[in-house]
Amino acid sequence: MEELWQTRRHDDFYHGLIQVAALMHQLKRGKVRGARKLATTAIGYLAPFSPEKKGVNVAEVLRRLKKRYLKLRGSSILPMWKPWTPLSVHCPVYPLNLWRNI
């Protein structure tokens, strides 16, 4: 995905998707502060492309990002009692994983 974005740096859609991937990596590492920052920037990059772009349901991605951001906003640690299970979202350009409703 990052290689694709490198060829389309002017395209905020791809930048937003990279931010989502980075956010997921931060969550996997338990880095809540970084995940919150990335959620904010990803929402900003992706919002202009709602409801859909290039086969990606951007409205759904934004809904999940905003929901996750609200849960992360007041937290300094990830809740260990809830699974952070990825959810696959169809993207014809690159497979994108998001978390399920926790």
State percent of the chain over pLDDT 90: 25
pTM, to two decimals: 0.69
pLDDT score for 77: 58
CB 58, CB 36: distance < 8 Å = no
The structure tokens listed for 16 are: 């937003």
pLDDT score for 53: 93
pLDDT score for 91: 53
pLDDT band at 27 (very low <50, low <70, confident <90, very high): confident
Domains and CATH numbers, the chain: 2-99 (1.10.3450)
Q: Tell me what the pLDDT averaged over the chain comes to.
A: 76
Residue 94 pLDDT exceeds 80? no
- Residue 15 vs residues 7, 30, 47, 102: alpha-carbon distances, Å: 11, 22, 12, 25
